[in-house]
Amino acid sequence: MSARNRPAPTRRSIDNPMTKRALSVTFAALAWLSACADRPGDASASPAGTAPAPTTPRAATTAPASALALAPASSSAGSSTASAGPASAAPSVASASGVELRALSQALSEKGAEFFSDNYISNETSYLQVAPALAERGRRGGAYVGVGPEQNFSYIALLEPEVAFIVDIRRDNLVEQLLYKAAFERAESRAEFVALLVGRDLDRATAPGPDASLESVLDAVERVKPDSQAFERIHGELLAHAEARWGEPLGAADRKTFKRTHKAFWKGGLELRFELKADNGRRYPTLRELVSAADPDGKRRGFLAEEATFRTVQRLEREDRIVPVVGDFAGGKALRAVGDEMRRRSLALNAFYVSNVEQYLFEGGAWPKWVGNVAALPRDADSLFIRCYLDQGKRVPLQMKGHRTATTLQKVGDFLARNEAHPYRSLWGVSSDETSFTSLSQVRPASSSVP
């Protein structure tokens, strides 16, 4: 029966829980479109299904001239050398919206797996160790690939990619990214974003303004006492928004994950910490400590540190340019599919944040598969790895005093060349490689990058 011929709903049918959910999603979608209509000139204001004018990828504008041609994929991928071509010829990465974003995520994803931690937030205190180098490098545009939860947003704010793919073996991370997306898109300020994330009912009228310090933003949220009724209302609004923007209701398992994740933020607030499912007695940083972290020069560069960095990530979320993907770094589909999507958009890899995932890829014969997947990504001479080393009793040369983690950079080309000459045997070996660096002054000449 068509909608036009369907009888008007009775009071009883409206009270049906499924009907209420459908109406909630519909109203959230209408609210989103209304909000977009109130933002003239904003690319994110395009109604669902209406693509804004193509944008020019910026990868080539800051890369050296020699980097304009994308590196060929590995021969096993069966691809020939791709060329970036004229900048104006690249398709718009802002054209995906709603159903298109979900379809892209599903097309890129593969079967996930369980992990021994929930990873609601990061445990890497050193994640801004390389921020000065990334800022000095000045590379913008291209494609970003990352893993895990909120630390990606700080790297995305620094790199301003055309598109970001968050690839994680845990489907729970995809669902958490949808929670973040809803909070980013609904928030009118940094304080409201944090309040939505931790389920606090912050008064917009009294929220700190755009010039407020990060301390003021976080303190304003902490002053709001947690309330279970307020949480349930906020959670329902975020879920309805996420489902409307995703283009369909989440499945029962994903809704349960969405609720469990949001409730963890509500219960922990800014004191939420990374936890293993089997407690090891270690004290990991709180959410407040992570978002308040500074780089080695003492400058805060996290995505909430300043209004501009927050708005950069918010804009990319509203334009559906942050794509959550379920994928195994050594799997047979996800990273290859991400590479194909980058190639379709004529985008080279800007940076790949791998965290310490490689630690687990030395097991079970996964390392060659991982290396093959890396080789298949479109890249240029400046494409980087952002890598985290977790000290389990053996420090690496670039590890900062007082940190159990070390975050380093390495050019992807150097990684592939050195692994081919002398295959890596451990994460310590990769992180201690002489081609790893944390500042641009440590970058070795290309002629000495292979022993």
Distance CA 347, CA 384 (A): 14
Q: Quick one: DSSP state of residue 325?
A: E
Q: What is the distance in angstroms between the CA of the first residue and the CA of the last residue of the chain?
A: 71
Query: Which band of pLDDT confidence, cut at 50, 70 and 90, is reported for residue 98?
Result: low
CB crowding 238-274: b at 16 or more within 10 Å, else e: bbbbbbbbbbebbeeebbebbbebbebbbebbbebbb
Amino acid 443: pLDDT = 87
- Please give the full DSSP string across 385-399, using - where no structure is assigned: EEEEEE-SS---TTP
CB crowding 355-368: b at 16 or more within 10 Å, else e: bbbbbebbeeebbe
Q: Which residues contact 86 (CB under 8 A, 6 or more apart)?
A: none
Burial of 30 (0-12, 13-18, 19+ CB in 10 A): exposed
CB crowding 170-183: b at 16 or more within 10 Å, else e: bbbbbbbbbbbbbb
Amino acid 172: pLDDT = 96
Within 13 Å and on the Cβ side, how many CA atoms surround 51? Answer: 12
Distance CA 227, CA 110 (A): 38
pLDDT at 78 over 50: no
Question: Is the CB of residue 405 less than 8 Å from the CB of residue 123?
Answer: yes
Q: What share of the chain is helix, strand, coil (3-state, %, to 5)?
A: 45, 10, 45
Q: What average pLDDT does the segment 109-130 reach?
A: 88
Query: Which spans in 187-306 are helix H?
Result: 190-197, 214-222, 228-246, 252-268, 287-291
Lowest mean pLDDT among 96-110, 259-273, 308-322, 329-343: 96-110
Could you report the per-residue pLDDT of 217-236, keeping only the tens digit for each?
999 999 999 999 999 999 99
Q: What average pLDDT does the segment 302-313 reach?
A: 97
Amino acid 283: pLDDT = 76
Could you report the per-residue pLDDT of 21-44, keeping only the tens digit for each?
444 444 444 444 444 444 333 333
Q: What average pLDDT does the segment 82-93 reach?
A: 33
Q: Which residues contact 6 (CB under 8 A, 6 or more apart)?
A: none
Single pTM value for the model: 0.80
Q: What average pLDDT does the segment 57-76 reach?
A: 37
Closest CA to 93 of 317, 348, 345: 345
Question: Is the CB of residue 373 less than 8 Å from the CB of residue 329?
Answer: yes
Amino acid 444: pLDDT = 74
DSSP helix/strand/coil, 39: coil
Could you report the per-residue pLDDT of 364-416, keeping only the tens digit for each?
999 999 999 999 999 999 999 999 999 888 999 999 999 999 999 999 999 99
Query: Which band of pLDDT confidence, cut at 50, 70 and 90, is reported for residue 117?
Result: low
The type of residue at 67 is A
Could you report the per-residue pLDDT of 314-323, keeping only the tens digit for each?
999 999 999 9
Amino acid 446: pLDDT = 56
Average pLDDT, the chain: 82
Q: In angstroms, what CA-CA distances link 170 with 6, 326, 329?
A: 41, 6, 12
Better pLDDT: 275 or 263: 263
CA 115 to chain centre: 18
